[in-house]
Amino acid sequence: MASRPKKGFPSPTQEWFRTDNALQDLLLDRSSKFGQLFNLDAVAAVLAQHQAGFNRERQLFLLLSLQVLLEGCALH
* Share above pLDDT 90 across residues of the chain, in percent, rounded to a whole number: 62
10 or 40: whose pLDDT is higher?
A: 40
Q: What pLDDT score was predicted for residue 74?
A: 55
**Pick from 45, 54, 42: which is nearest to 18 by CA?**
54
Scanning 1-76, the segments in alpha helix (DSSP H) are 13-19, 21-27, 33-37, 40-51, 57-74
Between CA 64 and CA 8 the distance in angstroms is 23
Is pTM beyond 0.85? Reply is no
